[in-house]
Structure 1
């Protein structure tokens, strides 16, 4: 069988589960068993030697020897394999448990995070365990039949299918492939030639909310397709044990022996402290609160400031998106060592939430004033499985090309999509390869185009000024304080947002004094803020149609309705 046939066969095994498992649970069974069967087939040639060595070796640490014998980072010392498991249907559960416990520690840890023994228990109670193992035993997944790259592609395909089938949970850990491909191509665009023409280059990539590893896989595949001598080392961290196990399995199945995928919360259990990376990309969860790690983050921010990850500020407790971005920025290579590039998917909130002086505004200010934000791409809506909202790709770097220094490119990609023939949850639109190519062109082009604009960094900043008016007593004269200054009437207080590029006093004379001549600015309360009102920049006014045209249409509609009613009543 070829790869697609293999994937289809494995997919068909899920039919056995119908009725005893929900559709959203099929992947919990099929994915770990796919991993087990692959390991089983790959280890088959060395199985007899491993069993013999396990009996005869007297050294305390046999692991390095076993790994040399298998030629892999994993091994199994159980007497069972899938073929032997078929010999006794009555003891299938006990024998399968023995087989799994015979694996090396790293594989057992993956299986524990798949909660494999709970899955086995459910299959056994449903009288399905032997049937599932039997079906998997029919597939030859040896590395002579399917190499690591092909196996990785097949496993990714299964992950995609099960994620799409499970609409209720897909968005938690699955980003549509076309969105990842777009992000990766934009992220790599300035470096394509260098990667293609530099042999033996070692590149590190990080995703701190890696889910099942889709972003890491697409980035790695793209880089290695540019130059087969390039060595890409993926790093990832994932909070959910099952998706962590899926990602870790995918890396092992592809032969990514140098990859490092860790389990835990990236904020308070950072698996890569003090490490930096060449490229980073992520789709962190939208609008998820960070209350569980609030104390840890606030303590780090207070004690370490800019020497830690969160010196620029803290967002609202209800949305940790900016925490992920600051986490990534802290892991950039310094510019003198090559710098880094970051791609991250956000909803609209990080662009404008928070008033001047708030955590979000201060984070935006720090990012933009340090010239880290290179581009924002507005994507079409209805692209994701669990939300129909509009999303945005932010591209950041500390090594901008000269033409991009001091500027941010905003790209309006809202219209670059095709309708899907059949929706998946909230996903009704997709970015075609042609759409993707056009969006990458808009990112890279020098030519003017109505779908992008380059704006100076300062353009996004403003001063929020407080406009005061005097407090009057009964005779209508201003109330004076002890220092001889007019007292302000809090009920008449107002605010103005003055662009950073404009002098606040000139603005005040032009926009305020003509209307309230007794007003003044309380300059002690002036705050600087930053926001990116993306949709405002690309808004196009559509003039209302002439009322006479609308009236004619209404009359024509009334006449059609009347004619239809006459036809009904005449029958």
Structure 2
């Protein structure tokens, strides 16, 4: 259970560091609307500069300094996050972790260690201004990419310690970059146009590495481009990290859905410009067998799985059909359509005659 403590506290500290520069402004707005019959959510978001906020006066450092009230203050601090951020921590059963650490007389020590961890995204001076380098770019301390690597390594390590299969959730950054390049390259001219808007979806998004890489690649070609990312993830820890990462980057966290893409499609009826994924091939889909077979038999070609069902121990073909159902149709003039990049690592050359090959 070590990872169930380290992961949520790492997320919490990262969120705190990101929100720190605008904390006073958020507290001022919260006080202004306190007791009024007005939902201040949009004003608080504007004040924080992000899609999330925290209205507590506490910090981890202050909580660590009062060992006798650490649990009480930490619960209040955690509960003062906006609902979308609080939901992330709830996926870790954070309240229960606080209770367990308090019972073991370890809570204030853990809080103290994380309070001293510098996870600021950029360096700021004494006045709170972003420090720039010689090229006028922000001096980064812990980038989003670095945080992504950190989270993935933590999940991998803790999953291996508990004999779980962590390897199915992660894709090397080099592979991700290759996939994104192949996916986007044919649209280089269109992506350079002013006002370009593109949507990207990953139905097995893990901690969001592919979505982040796609956004960065497109905006590198056109800083004025708007990239909206969407995803779905079954693993609660990976989902929580992806959702918090997208919040920090200014994406809509509601676009990152939790649940099984086969039995509980979080993006029903939606279509996207680009779809990419490295699904957990070779993993059984027995738990969603009834839902998948029902859609296959009742909806046929009108559903997602009309092409047929794979063996129960390999759901790769289901992911491919699911992604195809999210493609935009091509109109009479030949415009529209989507592009898919998917990793098939179940080639018959290596694993026998599997559907994923």
TM range (shorter): 0.7 to 0.9
- In structure 2, C-alpha distance between the alignment counterparts of 1:87 and 1:134, rounded to whole Å: 8
Which has the higher relative contact order, 1 or 2, with Cα contacts under 8 A spaced 6 or more apart? 2
Q: Is the 8 A contact 2:91 2:240 kept in 1?
A: yes
SS for the counterpart of 2:275 is: strand
1:339-370 residue CA offsets vs partner (Å, 9 max, x unmatched): 1111111223578737xxxxx5xxxxxxxxxx
Structure 1 residue 301 and structure 2 residue 296: aligned?
yes
Provide closer, same or farther for how the CA distance between residues 350 and 267 of structure 1 changes in structure 2, counting only shifts above 3 A: farther
Partner of 2:344: 346
Partner of 2:134: none
Q: Is the 8 A contact 1:151 1:254 kept in 2?
A: no
Provide closer, same or farther for how the CA distance between residues 289 and 143 of structure 1 changes in structure 2, counting only shifts above 3 A: same
Q: Is the 8 A contact 1:210 1:236 kept in 2?
A: yes
Q: Is the 8 A contact 2:152 2:207 kept in 1?
A: no
- 1:199 Cα deviation from its structure 2 partner: 2.3
Partner of 2:60: 82
- In structure 1, C-alpha distance between the alignment counterparts of 2:283 and 2:112, rounded to whole Å: 42
Provide closer, same or farther for how the CA distance between residues 151 and 124 of structure 1 changes in structure 2, counting only shifts above 3 A: farther
Partner of 1:117: 95
Structure 1 residue 49 and structure 2 residue 28: aligned?
yes
- In structure 1, C-alpha distance between the alignment counterparts of 2:167 and 2:311, rounded to whole Å: 22
Provide closer, same or farther for how the CA distance between residues 158 and 132 of structure 1 changes in structure 2, counting only shifts above 3 A: same
Partner of 2:190: 194
Partner of 1:287: 282
Provide closer, same or farther for how the CA distance between residues 120 and 26 of structure 1 changes in structure 2, counting only shifts above 3 A: closer
- 1:165 Cα deviation from its structure 2 partner: 4.1
Q: How is 1:169-208 mapped onto 2 (pairs within 5 angstroms)?
A: 169-195=165-191, 197-208=192-203
- In structure 2, C-alpha distance between the alignment counterparts of 1:109 and 1:264, rounded to whole Å: 14
Structure with the bigger percentage of strand = 1
Unaligned runs of 5+ in 2: 125-129, 131-137
Partner of 1:270: 265
- 1:47 Cα deviation from its structure 2 partner: 4.0
Partner of 1:251: 246
TM-score (norm 1): 0.54
Provide closer, same or farther for how the CA distance between residues 175 and 121 of structure 1 changes in structure 2, counting only shifts above 3 A: farther
- In structure 2, C-alpha distance between the alignment counterparts of 1:123 and 1:112, rounded to whole Å: 16
- 1:58 Cα deviation from its structure 2 partner: 1.6
SS for the counterpart of 2:344 is: strand
- In structure 2, C-alpha distance between the alignment counterparts of 1:215 and 1:297, rounded to whole Å: 26
Decide which moves more: 159-168 or 292-301. 159-168
Q: Is the 8 A contact 1:92 1:129 kept in 2?
A: yes
Q: How is 1:410-559 mapped onto 2 (pairs within 5 angstroms)?
A: none
1:81-136 residue CA offsets vs partner (Å, 9 max, x unmatched): 33432441211111101111111111111110132223333443454432332343
SS for the counterpart of 2:214 is: helix
Unaligned runs of 5+ in 1: 1-20, 355-359, 361-391, 393-531, 533-571
SS for the counterpart of 1:281 is: strand
Q: Is the 8 A contact 1:54 1:77 kept in 2?
A: no
How many residue pairs align between the two structures?
334
Q: Is the 8 A contact 2:168 2:281 kept in 1?
A: no
TM-score (norm 2): 0.83
Q: Is the 8 A contact 1:32 1:116 kept in 2?
A: no
Provide closer, same or farther for how the CA distance between residues 299 and 250 of structure 1 changes in structure 2, counting only shifts above 3 A: same
- In structure 2, C-alpha distance between the alignment counterparts of 1:94 and 1:274, rounded to whole Å: 44
Larger radius of gyration: 1
